[in-house]
Amino acid sequence: MGIVGKWFGFARQEIFEEGIRAHERGDAEATIEAFEEFLQHHPSAEAERLANFYLANACARLAESYREAGVRALALQLIRRALKLAPSYPDLHLTAARLNRESGLLEDEARECGEALHLNPAYREAQAYEVARLFRCGQPRQAFELADRLGLAYEEAKQASTDEEAQAVFDKLATPSAAGIQLRLRLANLYLRDQLYVEAAAEYERVLPEAEGYPDVHCHYGQALWALGREEEACAQFQRAVDLNPAYAEARGLLSRCHPEGSPEPMRGLG
């Protein structure tokens, strides 16, 4: 069914709500379709900003799927679109850095990693990635000096008998327990989606020490805490998400609940 036919008769708010539902069930393609249509209806500036946030998130998800499938050209195209929509998100820049490296675009890799660190100098994963990148590019002295400044535990790299072994150590540091972190985050997100808030909060609590620099983790953890009536803790998580990324529209919207004039209900209504 064509876009015009599919959305005929839908009010702007209904299209937005459909986009939210697609986002919550993890359907990136449907999320993109809905919010692209929503933006054709001349929403308010705030509504447009939120729509762009969800579009960027969906593009990033779809890019990761294409990356896992080995379709790097499409993955790069999608992550670049996500960056145009949300240029102030450091995690998107780091994803772009990885994709550029895998595509042999090393200058672009360096630029994107640098931008991630410019946006969030405390972004631990980007810090470790930069160390690994420097070593890979034949700059071991700079890599070791940066690792020292950051306090990275890289003794194994010092003791490695070959550059390949040292590089493997740095690469591991750049994605600390990546598989385990991603597994726990997926589980936590599923719990949150299914309104199993106790289980969701528990999973976010487990992963948070290794994902401190991820604003979306703080935001989602806050949502679980809010649903459990732990509003003060939730507000602290929303604030942390905004501190990490001041342009995080969803976190800013949720943080507004914490003001005395805020509503305790999820704020989905948009003009």
Name the most confidently modeled range: 141-155, 190-204, 213-227. 213-227
How do residues 133-161 score in pLDDT, each as one tens digit?
A: 988 888 888 888 888 887 766 676 667 66
Per the CB < 8 A criterion, the answer to whether 7 and 35 are in contact is no
**Better pLDDT: 168 or 30:** 30
Beta-carbon contacts of 60 under 8 Å, excluding residues fewer than 6 positions away, are: 78, 79, 82, 92, 95
**Better pLDDT: 228 or 91:** 228
The CATH code of the domain at 89-175 is 1.25.40
Q: What is the DSSP letter of 122?
A: T
Q: Please tell me the least confidently modeled range out of 5-14, 113-122, 143-152, 242-251.
A: 5-14
pLDDT of residue 76: 94
The CATH code of the domain at 10-86 is 1.25.40
Cα end-to-end span (Å), the chain:
28
Beta-carbon contacts of 33 under 8 Å, excluding residues fewer than 6 positions away, are: 3, 22
Q: What is the CA radius of gyration of the chain?
A: 20
pLDDT of residue 3: 44
- Mean pLDDT, range 22-44, rounded to an integer: 85
Q: How far is CA 269 from the centre of its chain?
A: 24
**Better pLDDT: 6 or 83:** 83
Residue 30 burial (10 A CB sphere; 0-12, 13-18, 19+): middle
The mean pLDDT value of the chain amounts to 81
pLDDT of residue 15: 83
- CA-wise closest residue to 26 among 48, 47, 54, 49: 54
Is pLDDT of 236 > 90?
yes
pLDDT of residue 211: 78
Please count the other Cβ atoms lying within 10 Å of the Cβ belonging to residue 2.
Answer: 7
Stretch(es) of the chain classified as CATH 1.25.40.10? 178-250
CATH 3.40.190.120 is right for the domain spanning 178-250: no
Q: Where are the alpha helices (DSSP H) in 137-214?
A: 140-150, 155-159, 163-174, 178-193, 197-207
Backbone angles phi, psi at 12, to 5 degrees: -55, -45
d(CA 96, CA 115): 10
Q: How confident is the model at residue 266 (pLDDT cuts 50, 70, 90)?
A: very low
- Mean pLDDT, range 86-107, rounded to an integer: 90
pLDDT of residue 268: 33
Token pair 């145009």: residue: 84
How do residues 34-82 score in pLDDT, each as one tens digit?
A: 898 888 887 888 788 888 888 888 898 899 889 888 899 999 999 999 9
CA atoms in the 13 A half-sphere facing the CB of 50: 23
Per the CB < 8 A criterion, the answer to whether 181 and 214 are in contact is no
- CA-wise closest residue to 49 among 38, 62, 59: 38
pLDDT of residue 225: 94
d(CA 21, CA 31): 8
Q: How confident is the model at residue 84 (pLDDT cuts 50, 70, 90)?
A: very high
Token pair 């708010």: residue: 13
How do residues 97-129 score in pLDDT, each as one tens digit?
A: 999 999 999 999 999 999 999 988 877 778 888
Q: Please tell me the least confidently modeled range out of 21-25, 178-182, 225-229.
A: 178-182
